[in-house]
Amino acid sequence: MAIKVKLRQKPISGNRLSLYLDFWPAIKDPETGKPTRREFLKLYLYAPVKKKKQDDPDKLIYHKDKSVNAIYKKHNEETLTIAEGIRQKRQNELDKPEVYSEYECEQIKKKKLGEADFLKYYRELANKRTGSSYYNWDVVYDYIVAYGGDKIKFADVTEKFCNGFRDFLLSTKGIKNTKKQIEQNTAVEYFSKFRAALRQAYKDGHLQIDINAKLESIKGLETERTFLTVEELNKLAQTECASPVIKKAALFSALTGLRFSDILKLTWEEIEFIKGQGYLIKFRQKKTKGTQILPISDQAYSLLGEPKQPNERVFEDLHYSAYYNIRLYRWLGAAGITKPVSFHSFRHTFATLQLGAGTDVYTVSKMLGHKNIKTTEVYLHALDKLKRDAADKIKLDHL
């Protein structure tokens, strides 16, 4: 059955007429595959405000100002010519034996996906993050713009583009500190965020090819992980801190290996006591999203204080801010510790001391919630340093 295409008008706001094509009978939408009778052209006409003669378009009045009326009239004439051209093109396409072949539908879909705004999509992903994670995603957005400009479509995000961005991160200077090149491990972190966006875009159907799988990651440089000794932990336990919650949270991290982000969101309903086994925490890691069951010692539990309502946070006064970092550094200084310690160092401390006490690396890996045991093996280097320090303590006076 022959399909007819008519050009029709629909009144919209501003005394205008939106132009659309009317198909009869309905055709298959090349994107959704569902029957449709309308295709809006995103073109509009100015509707007459007064008609002197219904059958004489030259006498139609669009605006009381004659010069504006002439502009509106010219706009309508040119727009109708464009719309009629589109209508004729659609009619010619529909006169073919097949309205749209499967290949044509796929090409139309790819073209539309490619025209979508990649930066807008990346920003939406970034806005779902919180805390330091959001900060890192936000900074990477600035680097993407610095590399590719502020108008990047998905069609622009090719393997060549991504490899170019990788090289850009390895050679560019900082956005804020323009005198210093960003460190390689920082580039590792930034490129991983970019690749995470590519993975998600592929899952969501915005990218037709899994570009991320073809990319080579940036290799990180091994860095020394700061950790504390048992003696230093005892000094901290005996030293007053201007913020008691910082002290409790830090020592809790050293006794359990929990990240700051997981301690921050820990609630009482996630803590359970099982007779014959002791206390444990059932939670979902904020970073990896993996569900974990972590046994904790009685001593670690004693840092938590009196239980409250199940949905209440255990460390309710704990927040992420520069203010709390200052309190942390002052507490360390008061205990006589001059190492470059951050809150994450307490997690490093847990891992290093566990390995030093003879706990096997597989068990420690599970307790830390690592997906790959190679991540845990990094702490073995710190253990080697502990052994070296211990060996150097034995010295003879006369040899």
**CATH number (domain holding residue 377):** 1.10.443.10
Residue pair 69/62 in contact by the 8 Å Cβ criterion: yes
CA dihedral sign of residues 331, 335, 340, 343: negative
What is d(CA 127, CA 132) in angstroms, rounded to the nearest whole number? 12
Position 122 scores a pLDDT of 94
Cα(174)–Cα(121) distance, integer angstroms: 24
CA distance 182 to 139: 12
pLDDT of residue 123: 93
> Same domain for 209 and 323?
no
Closest by CA to 93, choosing from 138, 34, 42, 27, is: 27
Q: How far is CA 154 from CA 122, 142, 148, 157, in A?
A: 11, 17, 12, 5
Task: Tell me: do 90 and 144 sit in the same domain.
Answer: no
How confident is the model at residue 312, as a pLDDT?
Answer: 92
Query: Do 258 and 189 fall into the same domain?
Result: no
> Is 74 contained in some domain?
yes
What is the pairing mode between strands 271-274 and 16-28?
unpaired
Q: Quick one: DSSP state of residue 59?
A: G
CB atoms within 10 A of CB 251: 19
Amino acid at site 15? N
Q: At what angle do helices 244-256 and 345-356 cross, to 10 degrees?
A: 40
Predicted confidence at residue 248, as pLDDT, reads 94
CA distance linking residue 59 with residue 229, whole number of Å: 93
Do 273 and 326 fall within a single domain?
A: yes
Select from 151, 183, 214 the last residue of a domain. Answer: 214
Residue 33 lies in a domain: yes
Cα 399 from chain centroid (whole Å) = 61
pLDDT number for residue 224: 66
Euclidean distance between CA atoms 156 and 150, whole angstroms: 12
Does a structural domain hold residue 352?
yes
User: For residue 368, how many other CB atoms are within 10 A of its CB?
Assistant: 22
Determine the structural domain holding residue 362 and report its residue range.
230-392
Residues 78, 161, single domain; the answer is no
Query: Is the residue at 221 inside a domain?
Result: no
pLDDT at 129: 85
Same domain, yes or no: 321 and 204: no
Count: domains in the chain: 3
How much is the pLDDT for 311? Answer: 92
Distance in angstroms (rounded) separating the CA atoms of residues 260 and 253: 8
349 and 274 assigned to the same domain: yes
Query: What is the pLDDT, as a whole number, of residue 179?
Result: 74
CATH number at residue 150: 1.10.150
Kindly state whether residues 305 and 366 are assigned to the same domain: yes
With residue 6 as reference, give the H or E element that holds it: strand 4-12
- My answer on whether 284 and 365 are in the same domain is yes
241 shares a domain with 171 = no
Using the 3D structure, point to which of 181, 214, 247 is the last residue of a domain: 214
pLDDT for 334 equals 94
Instruction: Give every residue of the chain whose pLDDT is below 50, as ranges.
Output: none
Q: Which of 189, 214, 239 is the last residue in one of the domains?
A: 214
Query: In the chain, what are the helix, strand and coil shares in percent, each to the nearest 5?
Result: 50, 15, 35
- In this prediction, residue 142 carries a pLDDT of 93
Check: pTM over 0.95? Answer yes or no.
Answer: no
- Identify whether residues 351 and 250 lie together within a single domain: yes
CA distance 294 to 284: 11
Residues 255 and 386 grouped into a single domain: yes
- Residue 162 resides in a domain: yes
Task: Look at residues 118, 350, 369, 66 and name the one whose alpha carbon lies nearest to residue 227.
Answer: 350
pLDDT score recorded for residue 322:
75
Tell me the per-residue pLDDT of 150-193, one tens digit each, with 9 for 90 and over: 999 988 999 999 999 999 999 998 877 777 888 888 899 899 99
User: Is residue 19, in this structure, part of any structural domain at all?
Assistant: yes
Residue 109 lies in a domain: no
Is residue 158, in this structure, part of any structural domain at all? yes
Q: Can you give the pLDDT at residue 33?
A: 76
DSSP 316-346: TT---SHHHHHHHHHHHHHTT--S---TTHH
